Amino acid sequence: MINSPHIRRLDASRLELLPSYKQGMNASAVVYVDAELEALVEDRALDQIANAAALPGIVGRALAMPDIHTGYGFPIGGVAAFDAGSGVISPGGVGYDINCGVRLLASSIEASSIKDIQSLASALYSRIPAGLGAGGGVRLDKHGGEAPLIKGAAWAVEQGFGRKEDLLHAESFGCMDGANPHAASRRALERGRDQLGTLGSGNHFLELQEVTDIFDEAAAGAFGIFKGQLTVMLHTGSRGFGHQVCSDFMEVMRAAARRYGIQLADPQLAAAPFRSTEGQDYFGAMQAAANYAWANRQVLTGLTRDILGEALGLGENALGLRLVYDVAHNIAKLEEHVVDGKKVRVVVHRKGATRAFGPGHPELPAAYAAAGQPVIIPGDMGRASYLLAGTSAALAETFGSACHGAGRALSRHDATRRARGRNIAEELAAKGVWVRSSDPATLGEEMPEAYKDVELVVKVIAQAGIARKVARFRPLAVIKG
């Protein structure tokens, strides 16, 4: 249990770090954890959200979701908003895998109709490039390579990887306006040239699932979800392109912080004024990387539809693999929110956190207006994942944000050590989950006990009123890098 005179429990779901917690804090910080999850919060992660609260121009409070764990700069699960006129933007508040995100696809068939899940997993694994540094996706030529960085998912649809209606069911419609590919380095562009349509490694995955529980019939109906349904969850981001953008701008921002006299509690939180040349250059390059990620997930969506249709002998209408929603993590977005009764334009940093807009928000598809935004919370390879719906309370309290997953309980090093001598794939197969991976070491890093129990994380989010539970999914087969 956390014990400090500078931390107080507000209620069963919230801890507050007072501004006296750490010298230099410009605001308090709220951590969304109950007593059980509180025991898993690292001191370093608390320091990181306090450091975020010390950045200039912060609006409201710094926030940490129940999946909080130590990251680079911000903790994973961190959310903070900065005044668009007087505040900063920080690559450490976005992360290296820019717009790492999750999309949920819903079929028209029942999972029980699939007689050979293992063969289906093998078909996906054999045709979707995955693994560290894996290329082999859609190669971008040197002259037309900027199009997906500007158009995002729409570019992939134009290339035949999906349907126009997919764009209505993606956060920001799968594209951020204002992307500036020219702000990205030649090295970043080169790294991204053949990685569109690739899964990557680490915690990225493609998962076949079955809907096991419905908690909100009205919202599930609006989202097209029914009990027993076969669904696909896809998690990947901007690959080497986004990683290089972050690496390049960390050096730029360190120099900028010195130039503008920004005091940093941690060099990993290097930042520049949002309206400065450096801030705008990073924002433009970050948006290009975000669009790359949306294009990547859209390409993978098209491939997945084709592979499953062929493997199951079903036409597009019979399979009905429809995009429910696509949510972004690791992103900074210019948004308007009401704070202390006033509308303010802020740059919301969500690192390992997802958007959770409530009912009636203008960015939502008309069919989702009454339900709120779909919020997708993946668990781990051996346990459940969840679909939730954003609430008006989230808009009022968290800048419309929720957690993005279960959150790590073990570092990759500790997980690898504990997995030594074990066959994680066999352990999962014994539980009825088929796993295919290009690297057995990845399975050790990503084994179920490396993560917090998603049930506990979702419980806090629902209890706090940030999002409400809609449906639960169990994994059937997982494709990893």
Catalytic residue numbers read: 404
Is residue 147 helix, strand or coil? helix
CA–CA separation, 125 vs 123, rounded Å? 6
CA–CA separation, 411 vs 417, rounded Å? 10
Residue 198 CB partners (closer than 8 Å, separation 6+): 128, 129, 130, 134, 135, 136, 137, 236, 239, 296
Which tokens sit at 229? 């349904």
Which tokens sit at 179? 């992307």
CA–CA separation, 294 vs 392, rounded Å? 26
- b or e along 1-37 (b: 16 or more beta carbons within 10 Å of the residue's beta carbon)? eeeeeebebeeebbbbbebebbeebebbbbbbbbeeb
Counting every residue, how long is the chain? 481
254 phi/psi in degrees, rounded to 5: -60, -45
Using an 8 Å Cβ cutoff, are 157 and 163 in contact?
Answer: yes
- b or e along 389-417 (b: 16 or more beta carbons within 10 Å of the residue's beta carbon)? bbbebbbebbbbbbbbbbbbbbebeebbe
Using an 8 Å Cβ cutoff, are 239 and 200 in contact?
Answer: yes
